[in-house]
Structure 1
Amino acid sequence: MMFTGQERERDMRFFLFFWILSFSLSPTICISKTIDLNSSILERFDKSRDDIVFDNATQLMWQTCSAGQVRVKKKGCTGDSLGMTWTDAKKLESPDWRLPTKAELVTIIDNLKNRNEDIPRIHGAIFYNVDETKLNYWTSDSAGASEAWYVNFGTGPIAGKADKTSPFAVRLVKGTFVPPAPEVKPPQDIYEFLGRRDDCKHFAGEFSGEAIDRVRDRQIDKTMTELRCNNVEADEKKLRKKYQGKPDMLKWLNESPE
């Protein structure tokens, strides 16, 4: 039986409508604590619903399966992942579900896997049956009239720009993104001092004082001189005076050296 172009387009619209509707009727999952991206997958992901995954680290809800696949209990995601243009991917969006931004999508990359060997780079115990022939996923971020950003779950660069007509996979998301807290570092002068203080403590513990270790001790003494270890206490007092009244800075100096 032959189908006209209009009939194929109509059938595609019906498929997309009912596919989105099945998720739109899903109840909201209760939000619990926020943890970071390095937490174990059992702590990080809540799979109380088979078809939806809640990420405690970002407060986002992800569809377990890629667009085109259907979640079947005990079988994972069945069917083929759809490869679609960016414009068609945008048509999947509803009041609840949407294309993720690049910043959101990169958070579900499994960074423990080797980028040159292990594919797909996603938690297979959470996101089932990822099609290894379709590892580029569209984001909502347009890059001009003809290109958009995608995230790569295979080998090579994590993200890039591609022509909007490229047939890439889609995984929808909903919720308000809570960016993972950035790594907090002390000011540069405190950062350098802490490293120096730790090194001085380390080398002081290595000093033997025995005749048999004379050559080694001389090298240690030279290194400690270069580090200005005799000035550590005086330099710490200067830093404490500089950051007086700033407890968020002084806390770094209050930490005991390893």
Structure 2
Amino acid sequence: MPVRVDAALDDLVVPTLDNPREFSSQLHTHLRRLINDGAIAPGTELNQADLARRFNVSRIPMREAFRMLQQEGLIDVALNQRAVVRALDAGEVDQLYGVRITLEALGARITAGRLSDAEVAEAQECLRRMRKTKRAQDMSEWVAAHRRFHTLCTARAGAPLAGIILSYSERTERYVRFGQRAHADTFAVAEAEHEQILTALAAGEVDAAGASMARHLAHTAATVLADLDGDFEALTVAQSVQMCAGGPL
């Protein structure tokens, strides 16, 4: 059963909206962050008119924000303008990560040996920020540093590939956070994998960069899937790793 919006969202922070032309984008970003953070739980029922009143905006930008959330696969919208935050789903994890592994491993291969010294230094700084924010339990800052690190790892991927990679990265973000909440020990494993990816990229080791990225993303998918459905057979992830890393995970 859906969780009613009036019970689930009473304590939500109202976003600061400072540009009428950007209200839709700002609302989308705010709601997306709340869903990815778990502040709005899977199964929560959302209503455009109710949220528009809560956030003191008209229905038009809220409707557009809902459309963007639906396009990302975060909510399902009915004809009555009510929406439900989609549940975490093992099949979706398999599909999203299978595609992301393939695309991001390709982006890493394209980028290997082509990062500037400044970009390598920035990627190293991202890793330092991730360690620092993890110790401080500041997950918002950790996610920002993590997102930037992965963007640098595929920095030479041009349009439209870069945009597609970013889209799948964003769509898997709430699964990353789900895995982190359930498994604190994943940080150490991920940190070692990030270091391995960056080393291969900086050294221009194309095969190693692509394979390391594929295995890193597959480890995240496997962690999430083990909690969602331990019996689920992740065929898409398995085939993507086989293709990009030359062997099974």
How high is the TM-score relative to the length of structure 2? 0.23
Q: Which protein is bigger by CA-based radius of gyration? A: 1
Higher helix share: 2
- Which one has more relative contact order, counting CA pairs under 8 Å at least 6 apart? 2
TM-score by length of 1: 0.23
Larger strand share, 1 or 2: 1
